Structure 1
Amino acid sequence: MRKKSIISMLILMLCNINIASGQCEIPNGNFDNFSPITNGSFVNILPDSWTESQIINNFPRTFFGRGFFNKYEEDDAVNGVALKLKRSHVEEDNMQTMSKGYIHYPCDQIPNKLRGKYKLRGAGNYGEFSVVDTLKIVVKFSTLENPVELGELELSEDDVIQIEGNKKVLNLTAETQVFQEFELDLEDLIDVPSDFVSIHLILKQGDFGSTGLPLSFNFSEAVLDDLEFIYEPSLILEENKKNEVNIWPNPTNDILHLNSKEELTSISLYDLSGRLVKNQNINYELDTSIDLSGYSAGIYFLHITGIDNKQDVFKITKN
């Protein structure tokens, strides 16, 4: 436990972040903000909040001024700016088989989906052999007790180090010169514990068709724009409570108590799929309770309606 705590503290310091709560908006997910970074004699323009793999990219950045993250400035980007990814190369005939970057930050409310836009140019063909590179996007949720490892952030997913734990992976191989939308479904992870999320962006070298021989004289590139986590309407918890309702205990094993400063008219309970599992009318009372003892353990959303149809939504955990 002590070793994991130390690792967690190191990752927090490396990422320069503080633990926060609530929905997990992706920092600089639209890639509008870039800053100059000096590497050796080169000044590179890199996206704010995101990190290139130092192990993979430090040498080509320092000595050749080339790396994985690049600024894309074209009219087809949402705000005229996006993130361009290039599989790093040291010399024109010496390519990295994989290159990656990532972001790691606090997140304790797991979203339903990751959505974004991409373009991809694979490494191309060589004679009769078709070579396909993969743009891989991995989303992993971790906790202080079971943190993401530094090796996962810096080196995965090559043929040796893989990202483990609560993750979802999207592999994109179809070439497109026009931005296409993509979605990565995260529904299966809604109930897992989470303190942090890491998003891994990887370009992995393709092979010569069925020969298994790696490509070594060309490189692929991709463009990403407008990354965002999507929360379904039933999962959106309102920040400004209209009815000033207090709920306790939460999490609960059975009885959930409610107290409001304004009269309540009804309460409705929904499960994660959005299915109504309980509806209870209230005769303009300020205090009431709801019995959850007969319901399965998990996450629910309690919709509370007051006078003038004011409504609040609360996330409830049933043990």
Structure 2
Amino acid sequence: MYKIILLILCVSFEMVAQIEVPNGDFNEFETIITDKHTYDVPVGWKEHPKNEVSRLDDGQGFTYKYYLPDANENALVLHRTYDVQANSVTTSFSIPQNKKNLRLVGRYKFSGSDIDTAKDTLRIAVFSSESSMDETPFTLPEKATILNITTPEAQFEWFHLDINEIPKNTYLTIVIQIISGSDDSYYWGQSNAVIDDLKFITI
């Protein structure tokens, strides 16, 4: 009985202590309609600028809507194509106060590379800055906290990433990448991931 009460208190505390990630459950998508293509993009998140050109040209990007039954409503699909070594999506948002002992948690699935000899990486990174990041950075800052996932998972698994102290009145940025492990500069292979239910909790 004691353990049940303790579990309820811990869950309640985590719920109160959460920092909301903008559209962290990926239930909000905006439908873009052009002369040639129609596609959905996650509200509050930005793809790498190189995807803007490909979206207009052939309708292909990095992010897509996932709506199979194992998602909570919707989730975010990431698809890195064979002609891109790495791709990324990001969100940047303000937190109004000092935070310590934060943990980013969420669910993921990951295909790994379609090349048997290559080990692709699903990378989730968090860092703080004095201003919002207007677009996905080409390189991550040295103080970024990074989780690298290389083992494929066919079913949703939970991940957690412990974050250092966040200074007051700064922005938090989350960058999610898929990086090819191929050493062939002509064919990077392909890999996919699904991300859902992102949130920060205090530990």
TM-score where L is the length of structure 1: 0.54
Q: Which residue of 2 aligns with 1:49?
A: 44
Q: Which residue of 2 aligns with 1:113?
A: 103
Q: Distance in 1 between matches of 2:193 and 2:124?
A: 12
1:198 is paired with a residue whose SS is: strand
1:156-182: CA deviation from partner (whole Å, max 9, x where unpaired) = 2xxxxx221542001111101100000
Structure 2, unmatched stretches of 5+, are: 1-16
Q: Give the number of the structure whose alpha-carbon radius of gyration is greater.
A: 1
One of 77, 97, 113 as aligned partner of 1:84: 77
Q: Distance in 2 between matches of 1:172 and 1:40?
A: 38
AA of the residue aligned to 1:78? N
Q: How many residues align?
A: 185
One of 31, 49, 52 as aligned partner of 2:26: 31
Match status 1:197 vs 2:168 = no
Instruction: Show the 5 A alignment for 1:117-266.
Output: 117-126=107-116, 130-143=117-130, 147=131, 153-156=135-138, 162-186=139-163, 189-190=164-165, 192-207=167-182, 212-214=183-185, 216=187, 218-232=189-203
AA of the residue aligned to 2:178? L
Cα distance change on mapping 1:214 and 1:194 into 2, 3 Å: farther
Cα distance change on mapping 1:221 and 1:26 into 2, 3 Å: same
AA of the residue aligned to 2:154? Q
Q: Distance in 2 between matches of 1:46 and 1:125?
A: 28
1:32-81: CA deviation from partner (whole Å, max 9, x where unpaired) = 11110235521211111111112x201221111111110001111123x1
Q: Distance in 1 between matches of 2:55 and 2:34?
A: 6
AA of the residue aligned to 2:102? N
Instruction: Show the 5 A alignment for 1:52-63.
Output: 52-54=47-49, 56-63=50-57
1:222 is paired with a residue whose SS is: strand
Q: Distance in 2 between matches of 1:182 and 1:215?
A: 32
Q: Distance in 1 between matches of 2:115 and 2:189?
A: 10
Deviation at 1:23, TM superposition (A): 6.3
Which protein, 1 or 2, shows the higher relative CO under an 8 Å CA cutoff with sep ≥ 6? 2
AA of the residue aligned to 1:97? Q
Q: Distance in 1 between matches of 2:133 and 2:30?
A: 27
Cα distance change on mapping 1:149 and 1:82 into 2, 3 Å: closer
Q: Distance in 2 between matches of 1:34 and 1:203?
A: 21
Contact 2:109 2:193 in 1 (8 A): yes
1:194-243: CA deviation from partner (whole Å, max 9, x where unpaired) = 51111001111112xxxx434716310000010000123xxxxxxxxxxx
1:124-155: CA deviation from partner (whole Å, max 9, x where unpaired) = 234xxx11111111101112xxx4665xx434
Q: Distance in 2 between matches of 1:35 and 1:205?
A: 28
Deviation at 1:115, TM superposition (A): 0.1
TM-score where L is the length of structure 2: 0.82
1:260-302: CA deviation from partner (whole Å, max 9, x where unpaired) = xxxxxxxxxxxxxxxxxxxxxxxxxxxxxxxxxxxxxxxxxxx
Contact 2:18 2:201 in 1 (8 A): no
